[in-house]
């Protein structure tokens, strides 16, 4: 088993890699700042909330885009929501894809929308796994600290 | 007729004798009968007579004697036997009673005599008591006199009145012929006659103080009888016939405030005495009685106290008068000074304008002239004119500045400025001059030096320029280095600047700038003069006509105004010198530093905005769950009491006057605007409706105009960091409006 300093170093490396690769941006730091003794699980809660929201939105998007008469306004609204959520937690790559999505919506480019929907799904699951890893490492460090 | 034993009657020649006997017996009987009557009468009259029984006895004896003699009258002729028996009975009774009385008297008479002696004794006692009574009364009188005298003396605080009253009252009480007071002179070697009772204006007799009789009087606190021949007693021409009155002298201590130590009685050593001389009337047989002497002593003591009080009062009145005079003088001086300052200020104000106008004209026109075509000679002349006039303008400015600085009427400005760029500018200004003189100029700014600071940029630049300019001016070769860093509190304990005790605080920092040159150096003894006005370093004066000598003085004033300190060190001539100054600058708030456009440029006050939002009731309306949670977390982190609403309807339902701010996400388009309008309708009748602020990440659709039109109080762009939210809230609560420019 690793000792505390090693674990911490690993965590720091991983976190900075997330930033470097563009998965997270400064907004995530802001979120971290909001976590304090009165709200110890704030980040985890918000991130979980995001993924729930994202799943719902993506399902909705899929449904909407599967229709014959696509209501682009509705699509745009959903994407807008997703964009907002992702920017709130600092999921930069997701946000970027959302912006691209919105462009396609404006153009009413169905194919583009479908393609980019896949991309969003991919990004979401990617960032989700990253978050999971991050939280696990944080938990390990916390446990080590307590022991 | 029975025969009796009586002698036969004599012949007729014995008739005369018998007649005389007869008469005598009669009178004897009469007297004998009247005596008891008298006795009874007088005893009845007097209430006290202890021996009534004796009286009765005595009365009986006398009555019987009288009866006997009465009965005797009958025995001169022939008388019957009855008479004889009666006679005999009477005689027997008389004998018995008289013997009893005689025996009784033997017993009684000593008693009576002792009564007499007792009476005598009592009379003597009464006489004695009378005498004593007289004495006590006299003493009582005396005591009363003393009290009255004391009261008289103490009722005034005027020294002369005290003394005069003393003499008068004493004279009256003791019925003196003369009473005089001798006071010590200023030199202390003589006694001068100061006051007398009878003479109105005593001539200034003096008597040397070291006479034995005077020493005798001074050495004891009793009144001492002195001879009437001694110099102090010879007060008036001898007018009596037989004998001058007895004279007594007593010392009167003259007390000073310094005599009274706390917890100590006055020390005997440092004493000044006056001498009071009292003379009884001549030709009277009066002598000084003990109680009179005591009275004199008591009075002398009281006089001493009263005099000291009077002296203290005089002293304090004098001091007060002096103070008043000084006050008046000071007041006058102050007013004069004020007038002078006003006059100077007026003069300066006028001169300022009057001097600057022509200066401007000269400088402006000379520079214009420079632009035209000129011969080399003319150009040289114009350049000289320009240089001189610039110098003159600087001089004028310096003088005016300095006078304003001295007044204290100069106030530093406070604005946020870029510290780094200030240094760059200074260096840029100096570099050309330095390079002309072939001096190398290096600068080093510490890494922790903040980019922005709050202070008076112009004057700080003036100071740095002056210091660096001096370094350049007085160096002929070598290098000049400028370093700037934040001064740590530890470094403040500088033995060179013992008076400088800066207080570190969170909103300020101390900038320390050091300018080292390798120039001609300064003699350490001359260093203090550097900062005085117009004092030039003599050795350099000839070499450097430029500069009025005011520069450093002005710098010091500026530095002092900035709550700092400036000083110069040099190891000597030729060893260069180092000028250092520390000034206090404010630290701007981070939001200022970022130069975010949403904050209107308020100089310096931003750091004092509200940073504690505990309990601030806020309503967040956002239909995006994640955003909502994040915004809520943000506000809660700042301590607000957050309510959330996920739709317009919910928001309308929940909003109330309790909420101070409503954050509304308007990314969804027109919904938000309508919500704002509806909130307005709901709550606008009340004074303190919540502030409505729009949050949006959308920079295109939402504009400031539309927000204002629907009655929103603010517009903020997402994403919002904690610090930004803090600044936003504080700005909002202060100004009630906040529109970020999109």
Preceding omega of B477 cis (within 30 degrees of 0): no
Classify strands B224-226 and B206-208 as parallel, antiparallel or unpaired. unpaired
Please say whether the beta carbons of B226 and B214 come within 8 A.
no
Q: What is the pLDDT of residues A67-111, one digit of tens each?
A: 888 888 888 888 888 888 888 888 888 888 888 888 888 888 888
Q: Is A4 left (phi over 0), alpha (psi -120 to 50) or beta?
A: alpha
pLDDT band at B590 (very low <50, low <70, confident <90, very high): low
Q: Cβ contact (<8 Å) for B721 and A36?
A: no
Q: Give the whole-angstrom CA distance, residue B286 versus residue B290.
A: 12
Residues ≥6 apart with Cβ < 8 Å to B58:
B36, B39, B101
What pLDDT score was predicted for residue B596? 36
Residue B200 pLDDT: 63
Q: What is the pLDDT of residues B516-545, one digit of tens each?
A: 888 777 777 777 777 766 555 554 444 444
What are the pLDDT digits (tens) for B313-339?
888 888 999 999 999 999 999 999 999
Chain A: give the shortest CA distance to residue B660, in Å.
Answer: 22
> Do the annotations mark residue B471 as ligand-binding?
yes
Cβ burial B368-384 (10 Å sphere, 16+ → b, else e): ebeeeeeeeeeeeebee
Mark yes or no for CB contact B667/A33 under 8 Å.
Answer: no
Q: How far is CA B616 from the centre of its chain?
A: 51
The DSSP secondary-structure symbol of B413 reads: -
Q: What is the mean pLDDT of residues B348-373?
A: 82
* CA distance, residue A1 to nearest chain B CA (Å): 36
Asked whether the beta carbons of residue A53 and residue B624 sit closer than 8 angstroms, the reply is: yes
Q: Residue A42 above 70 pLDDT?
A: yes
Between chains, do A33 and B718 touch, taking CB under 8 Å as contact? no
Domain ranges of chain B: 155-260+267-310, 411-488+504-533+546-588, 615-738
Contact flag B626-A36 (C-beta cutoff 8 Å): no
Predicted pLDDT at B330: 96
CA dist list (Å): B412 to B428, B460, B568:
25, 10, 24
Domain spanning B155-260+267-310: CATH superfamily = GAF domain (3.30.450.40)
**Who wins on pLDDT, B536 or A10?**
A10
CB pairs A-B closer than 8 Å: 67
Q: Which helix (H) or strand (E) holds B182?
A: strand B178-184
Residues in chain A closer than 8 A to B625 (CB atoms):
49, 53, 85
Can you list the domains of chain A with their CATH numbers?
Answer: 4-139 (1.20.120.160)
- DSSP state letter for A39: B
Nearest to B444 by CA among B420, B469, B425, B460: B420
Please indicate whether, in this complex, the C-beta atoms of B626 and A45 are within 8 angstroms of each other: no
Same-fold call for B155-260+267-310 versus B411-488+504-533+546-588: no
Distances in Å between the alpha carbon of B527 and those of B399, B572, B631?
A: 22, 10, 62
Look at chain A and count its residues. 147
pLDDT of the residue at B541: 40
Which of B614, B624, B626 to mutate to probe the A interface, most A CBs <10 Å?
B626
CATH topology of domain B615-738: Rossmann fold (3.40.50)
Tell me the β-bridge partners of B455: B415
Is 3.40.50.9100 the CATH classification of the domain at B411-488+504-533+546-588? no
Q: How would residue B604 be classed by pLDDT, with cut points 50, 70 and 90?
A: very low
Q: Taking CB atoms and an 8 Å limit, are A53 and B625 in contact across chains?
A: yes
CA distance B293 to B276: 12
Q: Which residues pair with B250 in a beta bridge?
A: B276
Q: Give B721 to chain A, closest Cα distance, Å.
A: 6
Phi, psi of B642 (to 5 degrees): -105, 130
Three-class DSSP labels, B317-378: HHHHHHHHHHHHHHHHHHHHHHHHHHHHHHHHHHHHHHHHHHHHHHHHHHHHHHHCCCCHHH
B555 is in an annotated binding site: no
CB-based contact B718 A87, cutoff 8 Å: yes
Q: Which residue of B has its CA nearest to A54?
A: B626
Flag whether B533 is marked binding: yes
Percent of chain B residues topping a pLDDT of 70: 81
Q: Given this model, what pLDDT does residue A104 score? A: 86
Structural element, H or E, at residue B278: strand B272-279
Ligand-binding site membership of B227 (annotated)? no
- CA B199 to CA B12: how far, in whole Å? 102
User: Does pLDDT of B650 surpass 80?
Assistant: yes
- The pLDDT assigned to B128 comes to 95
CA distance A73 to B698: 16
Q: Give the mutation candidate from B623, B628, B630, B695 for the A interface (greatest A CB count, under 10 A).
A: B630
Whether residue B637 lies within 8 A of chain A, CB to CB, comes out as yes
Please give the Cα distance from B62 to B60 (Å, whole number): 5
ipTM: 0.78
Mean pLDDT over the full length of chain B: 78
Task: Consult the annotation and say whether B210 binds a ligand.
Answer: no
Lowest model confidence (mean pLDDT) among A115-119, B216-220, B487-491: B487-491
Instruction: Judge residue A115's burial from the number of C-beta atoms within 10 Å of its C-beta, 0-12 exposed, 13-18 middle, 19 or more buried.
Output: middle
B634, pLDDT greater than 50? yes
Please state, in angstroms and as integers, the Cα–Cα distance from residue B649 to each residue in B223, B622, B682, B723, following that order. 114, 12, 13, 31
Compute the distance between CA of residue B173 and CA of residue A45 in angstroms, rounded to an integer: 112
Cα separation, B10 vs B14, whole angstroms? 6
- Annotated binding residue B69: yes
Chain A CB contacts of B668 below 8 Å: 77, 80
Question: What integer best gives the mean pLDDT of chain A?
Answer: 86
Q: Mean pLDDT lowest for which of A110-124, B9-23, B183-197, B524-538? A: B524-538
């Amino acid at each position: 088993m690793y000792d505390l300093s090693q674990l911490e170093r690993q965590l720091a490396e991983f976190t900075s890699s997330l930033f470097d690769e563009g998965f997270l941006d400064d907004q995530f730091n802001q979120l971290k700042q909001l976590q304090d003794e009165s709200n110890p699980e704030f980040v985890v809660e918000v991130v979980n909330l995001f993924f729930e929201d994202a799943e719902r939105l993506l399902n909705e998007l899929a449904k909407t885009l599967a229709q014959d008469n696509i209501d682009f306004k509705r699509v745009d609204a959903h994407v807008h929501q997703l964009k907002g959520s992702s920017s709130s937690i600092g999921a930069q790559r997701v946000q970027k894809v959302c912006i691209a999505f919105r462009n396609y919506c404006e153009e009413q480019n169905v194919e583009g929308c479908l393609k980019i929907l896949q991309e969003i799904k991919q990004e979401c699951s990617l960032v989700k796994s990253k978050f999971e890893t991050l939280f696990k490492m944080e938990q390990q460090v916390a446990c080590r600290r307590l022991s | 007729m029975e025969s009796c034993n009586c002698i036969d009657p004599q012949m007729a020649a014995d008739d005369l004798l018998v007649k005389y006997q007869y008469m005598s017996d009669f009178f004897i009987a009469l007297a004998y009968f009247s005596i008891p009557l008298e006795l009874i009468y007088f005893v009845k009259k007097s209430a006290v007579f202890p021996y009534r029984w004796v009286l009765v006895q005595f009365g009986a004896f006398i009555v019987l004697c009288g009866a006997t003699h009465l009965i005797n009258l009958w025995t001169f002729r022939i008388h019957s036997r009855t008479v004889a028996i009666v006679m005999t009975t009477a005689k027997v009774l008389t004998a018995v009673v008289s013997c009893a009385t005689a025996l009784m008297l033997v017993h009684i008479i000593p008693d009576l005599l002792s009564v007499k002696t007792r009476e005598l004794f009592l009379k003597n006692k009464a006489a004695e008591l009378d005498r004593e009574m007289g004495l006590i009364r006299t003493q009582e009188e005396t005591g009363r006199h003393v009290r009255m005298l004391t009261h008289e003396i103490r009722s005034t605080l005027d020294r002369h009145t005290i003394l005069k009253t003393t003499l008068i009252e004493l004279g009256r009480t003791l019925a003196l012929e003369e009473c005089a007071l001798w006071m010590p002179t200023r030199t202390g070697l003589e006694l001068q006659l100061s006051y007398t009772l009878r003479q109105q204006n005593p001539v200034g007799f003096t008597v040397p103080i070291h006479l034995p009789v005077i020493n005798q009087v001074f050495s004891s606190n009793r009144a001492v009888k002195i001879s009437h021949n001694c110099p102090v007693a010879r007060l008036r021409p001898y007018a009596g016939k037989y004998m001058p009155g007895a004279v007594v002298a007593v010392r009167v201590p003259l007390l000073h405030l310094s005599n009274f130590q706390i917890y100590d009685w006055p020390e005997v050593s440092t004493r000044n005495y006056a001498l009071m001389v009292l003379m009884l009337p001549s030709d009277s047989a009066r002598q000084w009685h003990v109680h009179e002497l005591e009275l004199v002593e008591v009075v002398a003591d009281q006089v001493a106290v009263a005099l000291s009080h009077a002296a203290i009062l005089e002293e304090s009145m004098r001091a007060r008068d002096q103070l008043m005079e000084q006050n008046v003088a000071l007041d006058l001086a102050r007013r004069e000074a004020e007038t002078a300052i006003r006059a100077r200020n007026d003069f300066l104000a006028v001169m300022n304008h009057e001097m600057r106008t022509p200066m401007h004209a000269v400088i402006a026109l000379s520079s214009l002239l420079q632009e035209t075509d000129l011969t080399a000679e003319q150009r040289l002349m114009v350049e000289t004119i320009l240089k001189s006039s610039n110098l003159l303008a600087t001089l004028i400015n310096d003088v005016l500045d300095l006078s304003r600085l001295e007044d204290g009427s100069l106030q530093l400005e406070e604005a946020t400025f870029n510290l780094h760029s200030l240094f760059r500018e200074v260096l840029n200004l100096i570099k050309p001059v330095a390079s002309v003189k072939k001096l190398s100029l290096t600068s080093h700014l510490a890494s922790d030096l903040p980019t922005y600071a709050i202070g008076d940029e112009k004057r700080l630049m003036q100071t740095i320029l002056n210091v660096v300019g001096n370094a350049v001016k007085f160096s002929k070769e070598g290098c000049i280095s400028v370093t700037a860093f934040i001064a740590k509190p530890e470094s403040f304990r500088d033995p060179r600047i013992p008076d400088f005790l800066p207080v570190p605080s969170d909103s300020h920092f101390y900038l320390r700038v050091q300018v080292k040159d390798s120039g001609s150096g300064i003699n350490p003894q001359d260093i203090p003069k550097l900062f005085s006005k117009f004092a030039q370093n003599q050795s350099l004066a000839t070499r450097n006509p430029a500069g009025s000598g005011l520069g450093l003085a002005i710098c010091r004033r500026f530095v002092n105004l900035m709550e700092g300190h400036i000083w110069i060190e040099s190891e000597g001539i030729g060893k260069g010198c180092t000028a250092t100054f520390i000034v206090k600058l404010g630290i701007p708030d981070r939001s200022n530093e970022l130069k975010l456009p949403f904050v209107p440029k308020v100089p310096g006050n931003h750091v004092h905005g509200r940073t504690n939002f505990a309990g601030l009731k806020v309503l967040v309306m956002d239909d995006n769950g994640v955003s909502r949670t994040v915004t809520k977390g943000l506000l809660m982190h700042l301590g607000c009491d957050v309510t959330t609403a996920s739709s317009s309807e919910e928001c309308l339902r929940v909003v109330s006057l309790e909420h101070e701010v409503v954050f509304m996400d308007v990314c969804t388009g027109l919904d938000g605007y309508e919500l704002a309008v509806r909130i307005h309708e709901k709550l606008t009748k009340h004074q303190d409706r919540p502030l409505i602020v729009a949050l949006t990440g959308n920079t295109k659709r939402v504009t400031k105009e539309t927000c204002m039109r629907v009655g929103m109080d603010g517009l903020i762009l997402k994403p919002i960091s904690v610090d930004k939210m803090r600044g936003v809230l504080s700005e909002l609560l202060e100004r009630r409006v906040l529109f970020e420019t999109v």
